[in-house]
Amino acid sequence: TFEVISKHGDHEQVVFCNDPNVGLKAIIAIHNTALGPALGGTRMWNYKNEDEALVDVLRLSKGMTYKAAASGLNLGGGKAVIIGDPKTQKSEGLFRAFGQFVNSLNGKYITAEDVGTNVQDMEHIYMETPWVTGIPKDFGGSGDPSPYTAHGVLMGIKASAKEKFGTDSLKGMRIAIQGLGNVGSNLAKYLQAEGAEMTVADIDMARTKKVAETYGAKAVSSEEILFTDCDILAPCALGAIVNDQTITKFKTKVIAGGANNVLAEARHGDQLRELGILYAPDYVINAGGLMNVFVELEGYSPDRAFEKTKRVYDNILKVYEIAKRDNIGTHTAADRLAEERIKTIGRLKQRH
C-alpha cells in the first residue's frame, strides 16, 4: 500500500474504515494539510475492488490539494470513498458509522457531498460529527453550490477574455455553452446579463429549448456545440472534451467552463497552447463551489460566498502570468501556482 501511495502523491495519511455491522468499507485519504484542514467530498461508488477505490481516493484527494491551493483558500486536500452501490446499499447506520470515523480525525479531514452522496447522507454524517459541509440551509449550511460555481466560471471567462481579447466586457462576445445542467444554466443566466451572444446545447433537447428561450440564446444540437464558431467555448457537461478526436476541430479562441477534467490527457493542454487556444484550467475556474463551502466553515453568509467567487478572476490571471513567465501550458501553470503557494505559505504556517 505504501508503494501505491507514493506512486499517487505521497499522502500524509490514509484511513481504512471498517464496520461490518452496517456494511461500511470506506477509505479516507488526506493528501496534504500544509495550508489547512483537508477538505473534499465523500464519493460512494460500486468499485470493482479495493485497489480501484484506493487509487481513486488517492488521485481525487491530491486534486483537492491543488484546487484549494490555487484558489487561495486555507485548506488542504482530502477525499473519501465508500465502497458500495449508492442505489441499494445506503442506510442511516452506514453514514453515521462513517461520520464517526470522520469525527475521529478531529477536523483534520472535512467532508462534503460528491458523486453518489446527497444532502440527506450529509445530514446523517452531521449527526456524528461537525466536520461536514454541504449540509442543508436549515442547519446553517450553504445549500446548492452550483450558482457559486457558475459565478466563478463567469469571472474566469471574463479574465480569459481580458487575456485573449484585451477586454473583460462580454458584450457581443460569442460564447458557446455545452451542458445546461446546474452549472450551465446558471452560467447562461449570468452571460445574458453581460450581453453575450450565446449558443447553447444539452443532450436533453427540451432543456436546450427552455434555456435558449429563457436567456435569449441560439439552440444547436449536442453534436455541433463543441465545434461552433465562437470566441469562447464553455464546457459544462462531462470531462475529456479535449481529446485526440476533437482537438483539431475547435473553432474557438478560448476554452473556459465549469466541467471537471476537461483535458483527456495533459498533453492535450500543450497541444491547445500550440494551436493558440487559451485554456482556463478546470480546477481553477470551477472552484466557486469550493469557495462557497469554505465560507460555511467561517459561519455561512451567501453574500460573502458570492464575493469570494469573484477571486476566480485574479486566480485565472495569475495562471496566465505563470504560463507566460515559464513558457508553459496553462494546465501546467495552474499546478505550479498551487505548488508555489503550498511552498511559501505552507512554510509560513509551520512557524506558528
Nine cell digits for residue 6 = 507514493
Long-range CB pairs of 252-255, under 8 A, 24+ apart, other chains included: 252/176, 252/228, 252/277, 253/164, 253/165, 253/277, 253/278, 254/157, 254/160, 254/161, 254/164, 254/278, 254/279, 254/280, 255/279, 255/280
Report how far apart, in Å, the C-alpha atoms of 93 and of each of 202, 265, 267 are.
38, 39, 44
Cβ closest to ligand NAD, residue 105 vs residue 183: 183
Query: To the nearest whole angstrom, how small is the minimum distance from the Cβ of residue 97 to ligand NAD?
Result: 27
Point out which residues bind ligand NAD (CB under 6 A): 145-146, 149, 178-184, 201-204, 207, 222, 236-239, 258-260, 286, 289
Distance (Å, whole) CA 170 – CA 319: 21
Q: Which is nearer to ligand NAD, 4 or 238 (CB)?
A: 238
Min separation Cβ 318 and ligand NAD, Å:
19
For ligand NAD, which is the closer residue by CB, 64 or 236?
Answer: 236
Question: Which one, 19 or 144, has the nearer CB to ligand NAD?
Answer: 144
Rounded to a whole number of angstroms, the minimum distance from the CB of residue 65 to ligand NAD is 16
Q: Alpha helices, DSSP H only, in the chain?
A: 2-8, 50-70, 92-104, 119-126, 146-165, 182-194, 205-215, 266-275, 282-285, 288-298, 302-309, 312-326, 330-350
Q: Residue 161 Cβ, how far from ligand NAD at the closest point, in Å?
A: 20
The question of whether 79 is a catalytic residue gets the answer yes
> Using CB atoms, what's the residue nearest to ligand NAD?
181
Catalytic amino acids? 79
